[in-house]
Amino acid sequence: MVKQKWSLLSQNEKRLIIAGGVLVLVFATYFYVWKPYTLLIDNYTQRVSELRADITWLKKIKLQIKQLETQPKKSLAAQASGLSGRSLIDAIDKSIRTNQLADSLEVLKKSGDHQVFLAFKNTEFDNLILWLINISRQIEVQVVNADIEKTETGGLVYARLTLAGATQ
């Protein structure tokens, strides 16, 4: 049946059908094979770049943590004298201001015996973690509770922390 219809067509009509078929084949190959393949490659390339940036960041943080770990930890007597008569909340407040976290601090209040509640808004995660490591070494505080949420802006977080000081 197809052969009969094909034989009835003029030479120009046959050329037109062949050209249309070739054109459909080219477009189908482009839209269903080539374009999805290139989009996939672009996505993987972008993901690899993001992962490389993450690795660089992790290496930087690892180095900073190793540097902090090599610092000697104070003895309990030295920590007690490190507060030098100041309250835990005053020592934490001073440390926050020294480490440029004061701009993002929303709440700083006593929340119990030897405990302080802090809330940070839009603070840099890296700086917050490094500050926590530093302050735990300086005045022997421990994180009792931490609720950290990422924001829409990369690297910034909302953080609600409860810190407990050593009881003397």
What pLDDT score does 112 carry?
79
Tens of pLDDT, residue by residue over 74-107, are 544 444 444 544 688 888 999 898 888 999 999 9
What pLDDT score does 104 carry?
93
Q: In the chain, which residue ranges form alpha helices assigned H by DSSP? A: 2-8, 11-29, 35-70, 76-83, 88-98, 125-139
CA dihedral 138, 142, 147, 151 (to 10 degrees): 20
**DSSP string computed for 85-102:** T--HHHHHHHHHHHTT-G
Contacts of 83 (CB under 8 A, 6+ apart): 91, 139
Q: Which residues pair with 152 in a beta bridge?
A: none
Q: Which residues pair with 109 in a beta bridge?
A: 117
What pLDDT score does 86 carry?
62
What pLDDT score does 157 carry?
94
Tokens of 132: 């926590």
Q: Which residues of the chain have pLDDT under 70?
A: 72-86, 166-168
Tokens of 162: 């409860």
What pLDDT score does 167 carry?
59
CA distance 94 to 102: 9
SS3 label, residue 43: helix
What pLDDT score does 83 carry?
52
